Amino acid sequence: MSWVLIPADLVILIHDTVLNPGELQGLARDKSIEGALGRVENRVNYGMIGDVFDLGAAYAEAVSQGHCFNDANKRTAYEVMVVAMQANGARMTFAADIVGPRVIELAQGRLAADDLAEWLRRAAEG
Residue 47 lies in a domain: yes
Residue 92 has pLDDT above 80, yes or no: no
Residue 115 has pLDDT above 90, yes or no: yes
Residue 27 has pLDDT above 90, yes or no: no
Residue 14 lies in a domain: yes
Residue 1 lies in a domain: no
Number of domains the chain contains: 1
Alpha carbons 54 and 28: distance in angstroms, whole number? 27
- Domain with residue 66: its CATH number is 1.20.120.1870
- For 38-80, write each residue's pLDDT tens digit: 999 999 999 999 999 999 999 999 999 999 999 999 999 999 9
Domain around 60: 8-19+27-125
Please name the helix (run of DSSP H) or strand (run of DSSP E) that holds residue 112, with its range, or none. Answer: none
Task: Quote the pTM value.
Answer: 0.93
Residue 98 has pLDDT above 80, yes or no: yes
Residue 100 lies in a domain: yes
Residue 2 lies in a domain: no
Amino acid at 119: W
Q: What is the mean pLDDT of residues 101-116?
A: 96
pLDDT at residue number 126: 66
N-terminal to C-terminal alpha carbon distance within the chain: 25
